[in-house]
Amino acid sequence: APLPPQEHEKPLAIANGELRINGKGKKLRKPRTIYSSLQLQALNQRFQQTQYLALPERAELAAQLGLTQTQVKIWFQNKRSKYKKIMKQG
């Protein structure tokens, strides 16, 4: 007879980018995304053109670079915040 599933084989649920075991308990954060130099080059180039992407632009860019739309969205958010910080310093 097959063995009952073990404790650690509970289904994983992903809620707002964070991996959760069984939908509750300790959050397992997804490891930080490491972007290739090619991806960074494209993202930075695009940021120079526009600091904000419309949904279809984001979808297209993500598809071109092999990233998720969430990764692109968050990269742009982080970049804008970094950019504003630099601007404030003069």
Residue 18 has pLDDT above 50, yes or no: yes
Averaged pLDDT for residues 10-33: 65
Please identify, in words, the CATH class of the domain defined by 37-89: mainly alpha
* β-bridge partners, 21: 12
| Cα 84 to Cα 90: distance, rounded to the nearest angstrom | 10
Residue 85 has pLDDT above 80, yes or no: yes
Domain borders along the chain are: 37-89
Task: Supply 24's token pair.
Answer: 């509750």
Name 38's Cβ contacts closer than 8 Å, sequence gap at least 6: 65
Dump pLDDT digits (tens) for 26-79: 778 888 999 999 999 999 999 999 999 999 999 999 999 999 999 999 999 999
Amino acid letter, 88: K
How would you classify the pairing of strands 12-15 and 18-21? antiparallel
Q: Which of 81, 41, 46, 83 is nearest to 61 (CA)?
A: 46
